[in-house]
Chains A and B, each alone.
Chain A
Amino acid sequence: MSAEPSPQSPWQAATITRIEKRTPRVTSFWFQPSRPFVHLAGQHVDVRLTAPDGYQARRSYSIASAPGGGVELAIERLDDGEVSPFFHDVAAVGDEIELRGPLGGHFIWEESDGGPVLLVGGGSGVVPLMAMVRHRMLGNTAVPVALVFSARVWDEVIFRDELIGLDDRRDGFDLVLTLTREPARRPSDYSRRIDARMMAQAVERLPKAPKLAYVCGSNAFVSAAADALIGAGVPAGTIRTERYGV
């Protein structure tokens, strides 16, 4: 296996240094790129797998870690998928995987962008939002951020303990969970799909109207959540979306 990328190739080998199950369907993988880089919160990498006969599969994965905090990818297993089951079933610590990045110049949040910021994530769509939440925490900034995170059930809330720990600090970060197939567990939470009323209440948790809103998840989720934000009076021009596909 040749680890050295050709000098002009944007692809590089990255070694898996740690693997940790986050939920029954989502596992985090940490990578050490051979040419380290610093990303912005919200960016993604492209990953490329190559079979012995040269066949390649490539997919995009958002970076969950804060800028400067290494490269953590949180990958949801789609049982009949091509790439995500490879990570869940085959990839092991020490393996080299080709990736390129960081990529994406729109769905990003830097401290200098300011706030308040409203984050809305569905399922693994929380991953780039997690990078923003962690970036805010490490930067020690007072920018008010509310995260509305929709998951099917409590046990599928990715980064749950970390998010609840951050929420408990009451330092301007507010977590709202909405479970679509289970009753709510915390007083501030919901148990239904995202709608305009929920978005209006999320906006009210911020000290003033959001300067920026970020929505990420499956295509259907993003369409519904972005429409709900507009229904709650959030101007379309402040809403940025990232769609994970079908």
Chain B
Amino acid sequence: MVTRGFFSGRRPPSDTDARIPPGQYLEQGFPVLSAGPTPRVRTEDWSFTLKQGPRPIKKWNWAEFNALPQSKMTRDIHCVTAWTKFNTPWQGVMIDDILADAGIEPPTAYTLALSFDGYSTNVPTKDLVTGKAMVALLYEGKPITPDHGGPARLLVPHLYFWKSAKWVNGLQFTERDEPGFWELRGYHMYGDPWREQRYSSDP
């Protein structure tokens, strides 16, 4: 449906078109979204736990986690509130390297990412491994600020950004695809920006 009187707009240059998923616009800043106040997690109190169901597999403190092999990922990110930001540079520990340090293969097909503030989000395990995702520790070479999810946040850049859980403190492997916090509140179970899977009613 063409809107009367709406002509141009802040259209991206055409060479960037192919990088902007449907319904998104290019943002230069870095907006913040979260369900509640910003938790201030001290690295002394920080830990990261891998779990299968309720059973812990392995737990790292901040120093142990930072000693794991670190990788860099520079990716475009897509927020469900319709902004896309190009070339965001992150550094952290790939999920593959976390699993390797724990000495396991992915035990189930689904994962819930858990956060210090009680937030959770579900991601299929295959979307976390083979170089697709990391637990990020640095943004633009500096510690991630609390409002962007620091000290550590999940980074799953090929899905809408709410899947990149802030203040992450663990991954829980689950047998079923269990909805997380936003998914229970109307957001999509998978969240592929290229298929515009924003809300649960989207195909």
Contacts and interface: CB of A to CB of B under 8 A. Distances in A.
B198 to A, nearest CB: 8
Contacts of B87: none
Q: Rank and list the top 4 A-B pairs by shortest CB-CB distance, nearest first.
A: A105-B185, A226-B37, A90-B5, A105-B186
9 contacts: A1-B1, A3-B1, A50-B1, A51-B2, A51-B8, A55-B8, A57-B10, A97-B3, A223-B38
A51 B185 contact: no
A2 B6 CA distance: 16
A48 interface: yes
A2 B33 CA distance: 35
B23 interface: yes
B69 interface: no
B41 to A, nearest CB: 12
Interface residues of B, number: 40
B32 interface: yes
Interface stretch (A143-151, A162-170, A171-179, A232-240): A232-240
A166 B170 CA distance: 47
Nearest to B17: A55
A1 B138 CA distance: 49
Nearest to B31: A245
A106 interface: yes
Contacts of A112: none
A104 B33 CA distance: 13
Nearest to A54: B2
A187 interface: no
Contacts, number: 111
Contacts of A52: 2, 7
Contact of A49 (B3, B38, B81): B3
Nearest to A229: B37
Interface of A: 1-3, 8, 10, 13, 46, 48-52, 55-60, 82, 86, 90-91, 95-98, 103-106, 215, 219, 223, 226-227, 229-230, 236-237, 239-241, 243, 245-246
B34 A241 contact: yes
Given A10-B202, A226-B38, A230-B37, A82 B25 contact: yes
Contacts of A95: 3-5
Contacts of B6: 49-51, 57, 86, 90
Chain B: interface secondary structure? loop
Contact of B35 (A3, A51, A241): A241
Nearest to B183: A105
A227 B203 CA distance: 38
B9 interface: yes
Interface string B24-46: 01010101111111110000000
A10 B37 contact: no
Contacts of B4: 1, 90, 95-96
Contacts of A90: 4-6
Given A51-B6, A227-B38, 4 more contacts: A52-B2, A105-B184, A227-B37, A239-B37
B83 interface: yes
B82 interface: yes
A86 to B, nearest CB: 6
B82 A219 contact: no
A230 B117 CA distance: 14
A55 B2 contact: no
Contacts of A2: 1
Contact of A59 (B82, B117, B147): B82
B201 interface: yes
